[in-house]
Structure formats: structure tokens, C-alpha cells
Amino acid sequence: MISKKYIKWIKTQKCCNCGDIGCDPHHLIGFGMGSMGGKAGDELVVPLCRLCHTRFHDDPKGWNQLRWLAVTLSNAFKEGVLKVD
């Protein structure tokens, strides 16, 4: 699990889809570890506003979760929220 600091930081970011503020941590779907349909770990979280989060879960096809993850992780490293030892 990534630190609570990381999840708290996710909540302060702009939505990966629309750029709105006030985001929920969205755990990537289809990347659960250990069980079919399992929830992804906290390291696979991106910020989505409530509306985009709901829309994603209503119809997940056509959304680019991996691009969102790349942008989110890049920002986290740039801001020092995540560090490589």
C-alpha cells in the first residue's frame, strides 16, 4: 500500500478526465492483484471528479486509465509526493 499521504494528495488533484477539482481516488479497474475482479492497490489510483467517476463506472469502455495513471504518477514524482530510493 502507498502511504495515506499519497491518497490525500490524490484528492487534491484535478480530475484526469475533465480537469475539475474535488476528486475521488479511483482504483484502476482490471488491474486487481490476486483475484479476478479484485480491487487494484493504492499505487494504481488516479483522481476523478465525482461526475467522471460515476460515468466511468457506468460504462468503463473507451476510458484510458493507463494514460491517467502515467500522468498522475509523473505529477506525484515531480511534486515529491512519491520518491525513488
Stated pTM of the model: 0.83
**How high is the pLDDT of residue 30?**
78
Query: Quick one: cell of 18?
Result: 475533465
User: Mean pLDDT throughout 52-66?
Assistant: 92
pLDDT at residue 2, as a whole number? 63
| Cα 41 to Cα 28: distance, rounded to the nearest angstrom | 8
Question: 39-62 b/e with 16+ CB inside 10 Å = b?
Answer: ebeeebbbbbbeebbeebeeeeee
